[in-house]
Amino acid sequence: MFTGIIEELGRVASIERRGEGVRISVEARVVTEGTKEGDSIAVNGVCLTALDVRANGFAADGSRETLQRSTLGALRVGSRVNLERAVTPQTRLGCHIVQGHTDARGEFLGAEDAGGSWTVRVAYPPEIMQYLVYKGSVTVEGISLTIARLTEEYFEIAVIPKTWAVTNLSLLRAGEAVNLEADVIAKYVERILTIKNSRATPEDSTLTIEKLTRLD
């Protein structure tokens, strides 16, 4: 589990194809501190298992599923990536619960200077529409952000100078794909309601005065 607060902007040092997957080596110094082999590190919002951990970097394997669902398959040597270590029981949860499980790929539409901060616009696919709400949380490239404006095709987020400076948002170009993760709480609520409604009888789904009275 992660918080969506980026600790370091790393750099892809090498990419090695391994069958239908890849092994990615990342140059980093902050997230390797206290990290041992087998620990989790989020790379652009994708939870990966750290391998060959050194003081100046680590490696991680990406499966075919990971490459198909996220933007990791588009990384190149030299790409800058957002990095975050998994939380510990002592970690302050400064943003929202982030699993590191990419739900979909969105499209970076652009960023507008808003006088010290930036307004970033991101297009999203229809399959995650039900999880997005105005003033709700969304993870973009592993960054926990708040939706400031929401339409049926895109959302906007307000990015403070600190986030702009320490993440790869400032390096994105219009048209580039970005990793999106919706709030896990919304997904659990949807699942609960879906199962409950699928088991409901016609009588259960009918609203009556008696039912409203019992809810009072």
Tokens in use for 31?
């997230």
In a domain, 96, yes or no: no
Asked if 81 and 141 sit in the same domain, the reply is no
**What proportion of the chain, given as a percentage, has pLDDT over 70?**
90
Asked if 55 and 110 sit in the same domain, the reply is no
**54, 85, 116 — which closes off a domain?**
85
Asked if 187 and 119 sit in the same domain, the reply is yes
pTM for this structure?
0.85
Q: Pick the closest to residue 50 from 65, 64, 60 (CA basis).
A: 60
Q: What is the pLDDT of residue 188?
A: 86
Asked if 57 and 133 sit in the same domain, the reply is no
Is pLDDT of 208 > 80?
no
Asked if 159 and 116 sit in the same domain, the reply is yes
d(CA 150, CA 154): 6
Q: How does pLDDT run across 132-173, given as a tens digit for each residue?
A: 999 999 999 999 999 999 999 999 999 999 999 999 999 999
d(CA 111, CA 116): 12
Asked if 65 and 124 sit in the same domain, the reply is no
**CATH (domain of 115):** 2.40.30.20
The total of structural domains in the chain comes to 2
Range 192-197 contact pairs with CB under 8 angstroms and sequence separation of 24 or more:
none
Residue 16's contacts (CB-CB under 8 Å, 6 or more residues apart) are: 22, 23, 24, 25
In a domain, 206, yes or no: no
In a domain, 91, yes or no: no
Beta carbons within 10 angstroms of residue 70's beta carbon: 26
Tokens in use for 23?
């092994």
In a domain, 215, yes or no: no
In a domain, 65, yes or no: yes
Provide the residue type at 21 as one letter. Answer: G
In a domain, 208, yes or no: no
Is pLDDT of 211 > 90?
no
In a domain, 209, yes or no: no
Is pLDDT of 10 > 80?
yes
Asked if 112 and 75 sit in the same domain, the reply is no
Domain with 17, as residue range(s), is 8-85
Provide the residue type at 160 as one letter. Answer: I
Q: What is the pLDDT of residue 191?
A: 85
Tokens in use for 39?
């620990």
**What mean pLDDT do residues 65-80 have?**
94
Asked if 51 and 120 sit in the same domain, the reply is no
Q: How does pLDDT run across 137-148, given as a tens digit for each residue?
A: 999 999 999 999
Are 166 and 131 a contacting pair, CB within 8 Å? no
In a domain, 210, yes or no: no
Q: What is the pLDDT of residue 206?
A: 56
* Look-up of token digits 């990536």: 81
Q: How does pLDDT run across 106-141, given as a tens digit for each residue?
A: 999 999 998 889 999 999 999 999 999 999 999 999
